[in-house]
Amino acid sequence: MKRTSLAGDSCPVARALDVFGDWWSLLIIRDASLGRRRFGEFQASLGLAKNILTTRLRALVERGILKTVPASDGSAYQEYVLTPKGHGIFPILVALRQWTEEFDEHPDEIATIMVDRDKGKPVKKLALLSQDGRVLGAADTTLKLRPARKASRRASA
Amino acid sequence: MKRTSLAGDSCPVARALDVFGDWWSLLIIRDASLGRRRFGEFQASLGLAKNILTTRLRALVERGILKTVPASDGSAYQEYVLTPKGHGIFPILVALRQWTEEFDEHPDEIATIMVDRDKGKPVKKLALLSQDGRVLGAADTTLKLRPARKASRRASA
DNA sequence: CAACGAAGTTTAATAATGCAACCAATTGGA
DNA sequence: TCCAATTGGTTGCATTATTAAACTTCGTTG
């Protein structure tokens, strides 16, 4: 079976999914972005098996999403915190959240809303803008082949 | 495996992942948003096993992301197209794409860039704004308990 | 109407997941 | 200081998912 790896794919969506596209990683990242850091915190919050959590944490560290830091409350245990690369996933979490807010069949089951810390008011929907400031929908965009950057650096197809 | 269902979770991120958080669904949705509609197109593009594709397509139809339409080129086969709920996933695809563009170790392997159809220029990064127009980062946001919905007042925007 | 292709289904092997039990090091407490 | 509980795992085993490939069932084509 050997779950097909998407790592070599040329599509950036696939490449992202290859890094954190499994069943648990994004939830771990969500928890981390909410300030959870300890193995036990993740395990209690997510309710996943500990061996799976071990595997996932290791993979996320390996891929540069999380890093382990020695302590924080003085104990000899280690903690898992987001790297900048991990913090960069935040917009994806927001997009997922907003999709549920808009399309879920049971919005009454959603417990939380995202607000800006200053005013406490709900944030606006993520907006995709053109360089001249127009709001773009899916139909207003296209994909173009990435212009070749440096010299000849043709990896695989 | 019995992949634990996230359907009943109160976190909107988990609820979204429950719908299309598996290994293939988002790629199928990506393909659909690029205009692919036929079983064979998806299979050829994604290179996944046909039985898996069958399962995934069925699940996505069941969950209201895709719908089957009778034809389009006159043949008696059916096609799979995005519903509005499915089109709503577009920002998530954009967010995934932009994360890879920013953080991938091998950006030279990314084949395409997203441009606005009018000008052909790259789109800007998704921006999260407060209601008064400030750009918000993860640290500028918090989660609040969703206010209980009043029956008489109108639903929130 | 025979052959071909599209769209699945079935089957069997293999890999990922979940659960529970186990274990070593750390910590807290008496 | 010594012991018990907690933390952070590891190990086995049963269960479920994924995969590739062979097989089926149509519709389409020559």
Kindly state whether residues B54 and B17 are assigned to the same domain: yes
The nucleotide whose C1' lies nearest the CA of A2 is: C15
User: Rounded CA gap, A86 and A66, in Å?
Assistant: 6
Residues B95, B66 share a domain: no
Q: Please, which residues have CB within 8 angstroms of residue B10's CB and are 6 or more apart in sequence?
A: A109, A110, A111, A112
Query: Quick check: is B126 in a domain?
Result: yes
Do B72 and B111 lie in one domain? The reply is no
**Considering only CA atoms, which of A81, A13, A26 is closest in space to residue B99?**
A13
> Residues of A90-107 as b/e, b for ≥16 C-beta within 10 angstroms?
bbbbbbbbbbbbebbeeb
What's the CATH code of the domain at A106?
A: 1.10.10.10
Structural domain includes residue B7:
no
A144 against B156, higher pLDDT:
A144
Identify the band that residue B28 occupies on the pLDDT scale cut at 50, 70 and 90.
Answer: very high
Q: Does residue A124 fall inside a structural domain?
A: no
Residue of A nearest to B95 (CA): A92
CA distance A67 to chain B (A): 15
Question: Residue A148's pLDDT is what?
Answer: 74
Residue nearest to nucleotide D10 (CA to C1'): A51
**Domain stop point among B85, B116, B146:** B85
Residue B1: is its pLDDT beyond 60? Answer: no
Domain boundary among B57, B85, B113: B85
Give the pLDDT confidence of B75-88 residue by residue, as tens digits: 889 999 999 999 99
| pLDDT band at residue B151 using 50, 70 and 90 as cut-offs | low
Residue B154 domain flag: no
Give a yes or no: residue A58 inside a domain: yes
pLDDT one digit per residue (tens) for chain A, 157 residues: 578 899 889 999 999 999 999 999 999 999 999 999 999 999 999 999 999 999 999 999 999 999 999 987 888 999 999 999 999 999 999 999 999 999 999 999 999 999 999 999 999 999 999 999 999 999 999 999 998 766 544 444 3
The secondary structure of A107-151 as a DSSP string is GGG--EEEEETTT-PBPPPPB-B-TTS-B--GGGEEEEEPPP-SS
Indicate whether B1 belongs to any domain.
no
Domain that includes residue B68, residue range = 12-85
Same domain? For B80 and B94 the reply is no
- Evaluate whether residue A42 is within a structural domain: yes
pLDDT, position A154? 45
Q: Examine the domain organization and report whether B20 and B70 are in the same domain.
A: yes
pLDDT digits (tens, 9 = 90+) for A39-61: 999 999 999 999 999 999 999 99
Give chain B's domain count: 2
Tell which strand D nucleotides have any atom below 7 Å from a protein Cβ: 6-12, 15-22, 27-29
What is the DSSP code (8-state) at residue A152?
A: S
pLDDT digits (tens, 9 = 90+) for B38-73: 999 999 999 999 999 999 999 999 999 999 999 778
Domain boundary among B28, B57, B85: B85
Tell whether B40 and B96 lie within a shared domain.
no
> Residue B29 above 70 pLDDT?
yes
Q: Is B147 part of any domain? A: no
Q: Does residue A52 approach strand C to less than 7 Å at its CB?
A: yes
B interface mutation test: which of A19, A81, A89, A126 has the most B CBs within 10 A? Answer: A126
Query: Do B76 and B54 belong together in one domain?
Result: yes
Q: Are residues B20 and B61 in the same domain?
A: yes
**What is the crossing angle of helices B25-33 and A12-20, to 10°?**
170
The rounded distance, in Å, linking the Cα atoms of A102 and B88 is 8
What is the Cα–Cα distance from A34 to A20, expressed in whole angstroms? 17
pLDDT in tens, B89-128: 999 999 999 999 999 999 999 999 999 999 999 999 999 9
